[in-house]
Structure 1
Amino acid sequence: MNVITAYLETMFSAYPHNPRMLEAKAELHAMMEDAYTGYLAAGLSENEAVGRVITEFGNLDELAPQLGISAEIAPGSSSAAPVLSATTVPPAYAGSDTARRPAPAPVTRDEAERYADVRRRTEPRLAFAVAMFVVSPAALVALVTLSSGGAIGLGQDPAVLIGLACLLVVVVTGVLMVVRRDQELAPFRRLAAGEFTRAPGVDRWADELAAEVAPRRATALQVAIGLWILAASPVLAMSLLAPPAVTNSWIGVAVAGTLVMVATGLVVFIPTNWAQSVAETLTKTDGDGHASDERRSIVGVIAAFYWPLVVAIFLAWSFVGSAWGISWVIWPIAAVLFGALASGLSAVERYRAAQ
């Protein structure tokens, strides 16, 4: 720790020894000491811990916005004007001499912990909402094929009406769950948008949190992938093993089973992904946040008219062509196309970022 203290003294020796700088030095010393203790507890040697701490906290220019001393160490500030204290100058200003704008406020450990707690509590709600969106057409598909094949004593029109009612109720319930979750996450919108300055202590805490939950997340992902791969088995079994008469009546039930298996995989995996998502949110750069927001906005605009168009095509095909027994195929096709579109946008953004 003596090496770290000496290094810290050297870092601050070239700058004014005013109260704000002394306070920042004490704050940074506490952060470095916490990191050093944490690395020792993790099993690193003293030399390794010192090296890690100096690597993580050794650039005062990067740490200045978090410590509120950008004005004190900014190049040319001493020649242009006297050094100002934090009581007269906003904590952090970044940019060139011709265009200065305030840097986002740094994320605090308390804010990060509260954000993580809300994500942990609301992630199961998101999982069930997404699962409900996936299974929403299951009742419609199953009832229509069963009624058209004479497997149940229900006319096709009543079956369609009941199926559509179930679909709408399930979708509305899922939307309400998502809206409620968004309300709970509203106080942390700046974090989700990347409008904050990263803090080394928070970065380390977020990475440790993700590492702690990683084994459970990996297990859940394995189970979910298994369910998603096996999800095609009900349809394949019904198509290949059952007689044609049985297939015509029960293929909708097999499709519903496929949707249920996909939804089950989502319910298994999504609740375990909160820690990794929190870590990615808290450790992303401003540029990453802007690109992510731009990509989400583009996908959101496309989704705003894509899915209503799919619903309109589905209903038009089904009612006009009396094709309830086959029109359900539009849903998996539309989902695959939308997934490919979203993945393509992500690939384009990664390519642009690499240039």
Structure 2
Amino acid sequence: MILAEKILKHRKENGWSQEDLAYKLNVSRQSISKWESGTSIPDIERIILMSEVFGVSTDYLLKDEVGIVAKDEEYTLTSRDENLRRVTLEEANAFMEFNEKHAKAIAMGIVLCILSPALLILLNHLSEEKIIDIGVNIAQTIGLVALFLMITTAVTIFIRFSMKMKQYEYFEDEDFELEYGIAGIAEAKKEKFRPYHEKATITSVALYILCALPLIISGALGLSSTVQILCVVLLLIMVAMGTFMLVSAIGINSGYDKILEEGDYTEEKKFENRKNEALSELYWIIATLIYLAWSFYTSNWGFTWIVWPIAGVLYVVIIKIAAILRGGNEI
């Protein structure tokens, strides 16, 4: 049994969380996590203290373990704990509260972008078919005004909340340690949020799959063009609903991951994200331009939304390729 397994075994036998053990050893929770995963090894002073805490001998802990390092040579966060930014309970609570508002606001901004052409599509058709007593030019003008107002509102939301989120960027970009008790609070909140996160993900995927069904059925049955246009509007509404649920749920959950340095916000992932930041910004700007250009050129807003799921899949592929190329260059 290697040291990592022994630390994990004795911690669980004592009924301690990683945070509890970190408090007893005067290190960060992240250090305990790394020791237990075997990605790093504690210094000899921590080994001695650990033997006292667990009530075992240092020989037992060190047996079968190779590479115990001196205090001044330790690779992990332990030797750097005193240099890490220390997050207080007040800071953590303020971040979690704001992150929930931020996630919902960003989701609403995306919803406004998705729904922005709906009125234009509907009024343009109704005026062309003489269903409403408004000229085509007036109908298009009203629709375009609504579209630009919604896009402007969405952009305002993105800018406003992005600027406010800057004060918490260190959760995403820097290494830090939490005051005692914060990790437990964040883990409890994340666990409580988990059922909604799962429900939102399943529901949004179902909406994405089913959104085109009314349009397909209306076309197959040869229903009037007005019915088909209404189906296009319904499609946009369903996509918007699914997007709001998915984006807000992912955003809120990622806030807990940032505090706990889990998922996409581990120390290693933060390093990778910093490398990918410029590429990500350029990629999504290009995706947005393609969507708007294609949509305005074809006026087929009921179909061009497909850009976003495709862009999402391609983004993952591009990031993986970038990581492989960087790895090759480093070699």
Please say whether Structure 1 and Structure 2 have the same fold, judged by a TM-score greater than 0.5. yes
Say whether residues 1:302 and 2:272 are aligned partners.
no
CA distance in 1, matches of 2:18, 2:156: 46
Give the equivalent residue in structure 2 for 1:226: 206
CA distance in 2, matches of 1:265, 1:49: 41
Give the equivalent residue in structure 2 for 1:187: 167
CA distance in 1, matches of 2:257, 2:99: 13
Identity over aligned pairs, percent: 17
1:49 to 15, 23, 34: 15
Say whether residues 1:216 and 2:196 are aligned partners.
yes
1:344 partner amino acid: V
Secondary structure of the residue that 1:106 maps to in structure 2?
A: strand
How many residue pairs are counted as aligned between the two chains?
277
1:335 to 297, 308, 314: 308
Say whether residues 1:277 and 2:258 are aligned partners.
no
Say whether residues 1:286 and 2:259 are aligned partners.
no
1:106 partner amino acid: R
CA distance in 2, matches of 1:50, 1:328: 55
Q: CA deviation at 1:58?
A: 8.1
Whether the aligned pair in 2 keeps the contact of 1:107 and 1:199 (CA below 8 Å) is: yes
2:138 partner amino acid: P
Summarize the Cα distance change of 1:128–1:314 in structure 2 as closer, same or farther, 3 Å threshold: closer
Summarize the Cα distance change of 1:265–1:50 in structure 2 as closer, same or farther, 3 Å threshold: closer
Whether the aligned pair in 2 keeps the contact of 1:138 and 1:259 (CA below 8 Å) is: yes
Whether the aligned pair in 2 keeps the contact of 1:295 and 1:345 (CA below 8 Å) is: no
Q: Deviations over 1:111-162 (max 9, x none)?
A: 2221111112333222211211111121222223333344333333333222
Gap runs ≥5 in structure 2: 1-10, 33-42, 47-68
Give the equivalent residue in structure 1 for 2:231: 254
Give the equivalent residue in structure 1 for 2:6: none
CA distance in 2, matches of 1:136, 1:334: 16
CA distance in 2, matches of 1:51, 1:253: 55
1:124 to 76, 94, 104: 104
Give the equivalent residue in structure 1 for 2:146: 166
CA distance in 2, matches of 1:175, 1:211: 32
Whether the aligned pair in 2 keeps the contact of 1:106 and 1:197 (CA below 8 Å) is: yes
Say whether residues 1:139 and 2:119 are aligned partners.
yes
Q: Deviations over 1:179-204 (max 9, x none)?
A: 222233221111122x1224484444
Give the 5 Å matches for 1:64-143. 75=70, 103-143=83-123
Give the equivalent residue in structure 1 for 2:7: none
Q: CA deviation at 1:51?
A: 8.2
Summarize the Cα distance change of 1:343–1:159 in structure 2 as closer, same or farther, 3 Å threshold: farther
CA distance in 2, matches of 1:225, 1:213: 19
1:308 partner amino acid: L
Q: CA deviation at 1:280?
A: 1.6
Summarize the Cα distance change of 1:203–1:292 in structure 2 as closer, same or farther, 3 Å threshold: farther
Structure 2 length-normalised TM: 0.68
Give the 5 Å matches for 1:196-207. 196-199=175-178, 201=180, 202-207=182-187
2:107 partner amino acid: A
Secondary structure of the residue that 1:152 maps to in structure 2?
A: coil
CA distance in 1, matches of 2:325, 2:189: 30
Gap runs ≥5 in structure 1: 1-38, 79-91, 95-101, 319-323
* RMSD value, Cα: 4.0
- Greater C-alpha Rg: 1
CA distance in 1, matches of 2:209, 2:279: 29
Q: CA deviation at 1:269?
A: 4.0
CA distance in 2, matches of 1:226, 1:64: 37
CA distance in 2, matches of 1:305, 1:62: 41
2:144 partner amino acid: L
Q: CA deviation at 1:165?
A: 1.3
2:311 partner amino acid: F
Summarize the Cα distance change of 1:64–1:271 in structure 2 as closer, same or farther, 3 Å threshold: closer
CA distance in 2, matches of 1:275, 1:124: 8
Q: Deviations over 1:190-240 (max 9, x none)?
A: 1122x1224484444322221121122223333333322221122123212
